[in-house]
Amino acid sequence: MDVKQKLASKYDNIAIYTSGFYADPEDALGSRSKLMETLKSLTMNQHADTPFSLQIMTTNGEINVMPLGLLSLDELKKYENDHRKKAGLNADDDSIPMVIQFAPHTEHAKIQKQIVGTTNDLFDHFNDQFPKIWATVSDYLDANQAILTDIERDLLTDAKDVQSEYLNNFKTMTPDERNQNVGYELKDEELDHFSHFMADMHEVQAVVMSAASFTQHEIMGDNLFTTVMNDRVLRNTFFWVLDNTFYEIMYYFIEKTRRMADSDKIIKHLRHQKKLMIINMRNDAFERAQKALDDPQQTIDLNHYFTDVFIPVAEQFSTELDKLTSK
């Protein structure tokens, strides 16, 4: 029996043991703990030949810990053929390599993967194997954070042009025209600050609309909102997008702050405020979701939903930034 038949005989018609969690970019220790608990539980409740997949959702991608070949039997066949060429024909055994895969959710990004021991190593020598797995996962989390930082810096670069356009437009308006367009009196000495604020909100809105579009196409589809909320996987993914969007907005302002004097102090303050802000965001998002569920047949406008939840978040980050930079 070749490796493809061997693995197929194990995986065909067998339920895959799956689990997953969201990797909070502000809590590496928590991510490590969740990873350890999940894998430890696997080794205590399953067998080494159990087909399993652990999915770690990140701000702009996902990391999977799983047996090699779970997604592609040909991948495992190639690995064993290469292994035999190096180690000889008699080096075959029943152990299946463990692969850790990072799939960035960005345009033109390439999937990265690394083999870290075998499934038997995890089950038989957990204390030795787990640090190796975490080291690789941690490296991919760092790579994910670098992607997020690059995205924020691109947004900030675009914000410069947007701010210039806003400023030029405001300067061409009379005081009455500004009042009519903005809704209140905007003095000449306030134009520069207000144009920066508007540029920031423009970039945040791009993040929000992207999140809403992803949710519509990848989660909602043709389903009613109540159907999504009653499906555990879809519901969890929906709330992952909410956390993900919060952090994308938060890191926009963190990267904006890095260009300022006394940035370390300001970033520390933003992170302190974040603890309550993310709780408030989750509560607001949950309450809005509950209201939408009052009518099971109601459709939900995700653009409005995400805008109503996250523009206040962005405005608060902007306000906190002003408090420290205007002194």
Write out pLDDT tens, residues 15-52: 667 888 999 999 999 999 999 999 999 999 888 888 88
Is residue 105 pLDDT above 90, yes or no? no
Q: How far is CA 262 from the centre of its chain?
A: 29
What single string gives the DSSP state of each residue in 256-282? HHTTSTTHHHHHHHHHHHHHHHHHHHH
Find out whether 99 and 78 touch, Cβ atoms under 8 Å. no
H or E element in which residue 101 lies: strand 97-104
Give, as one character, the DSSP assignment of residue 163. Answer: H
**Which segments of the chain does DSSP mark as H helices, in order?**
3-11, 28-45, 73-87, 119-124, 126-172, 175-182, 191-214, 225-229, 232-257, 263-293, 302-325
User: Which residue has better confidence, 58 or 324?
Assistant: 58
Report the predicted TM-score, pTM, of the whole model to 2 decimal places: 0.86
- Residue 233 to residues 228, 251, 305, Cα–Cα distance (Å): 9, 27, 20
pLDDT mean across residues, the chain:
88
Q: Of 307, 205, 317, nearest to 255 (Cα)?
A: 317
Q: What are phi and psi of 200, to 5 degrees?
A: -60, -45
Hunting for tokens 């895959």 — which residue is that? Answer: 16
Give, as one character, the DSSP assignment of residue 91. Answer: G
Give me the amino acid identity at 282: R
Question: Would you say the C-alpha torsion 247, 252, 257, 259 has a positive or negative sign?
Answer: positive
Is residue 70 pLDDT above 80, yes or no? no
Q: Of 147, 66, 69, nearest to 108 (Cα)?
A: 147
Choose the weakest-confidence range: 92-106, 156-170, 220-234: 92-106
User: Which residue has better confidence, 265 or 71?
Assistant: 265
Q: Are strands 52-58 and 17-22 parallel, antiparallel or unpaired?
A: parallel
User: Which residue has better confidence, 118 or 186?
Assistant: 118
Find out whether 53 and 16 touch, Cβ atoms under 8 Å. yes
Is residue 133 pLDDT above 90, yes or no? yes
Find out whether 96 and 69 touch, Cβ atoms under 8 Å. yes
Q: What is the average per-residue pLDDT within 314-320? A: 95
pLDDT at 17: 76
**100: region left, alpha or beta (phi > 0 left; psi from -120 to 50 alpha):** beta
pLDDT at 49: 80
**69: region left, alpha or beta (phi > 0 left; psi from -120 to 50 alpha):** left
What single string gives the DSSP state of each residue in 209-254? HHHHHHIIIIIITT--HHHHHTSHHHHHHHHHHHHHHHHHHHHHHH
Query: CA 313 to CA 242: how far, in whole Å?
Result: 12
1 falls in which pLDDT band (50, 70, 90)?
very low
Find out whether 134 and 32 touch, Cβ atoms under 8 Å. yes
Query: CA 320 to CA 324: how far, in whole Å?
Result: 7
- Residue 248 to residues 22, 48, 57, 204, 206, Cα–Cα distance (Å): 14, 38, 14, 9, 11
pLDDT at 274: 93
Is residue 326 pLDDT above 90, yes or no? no
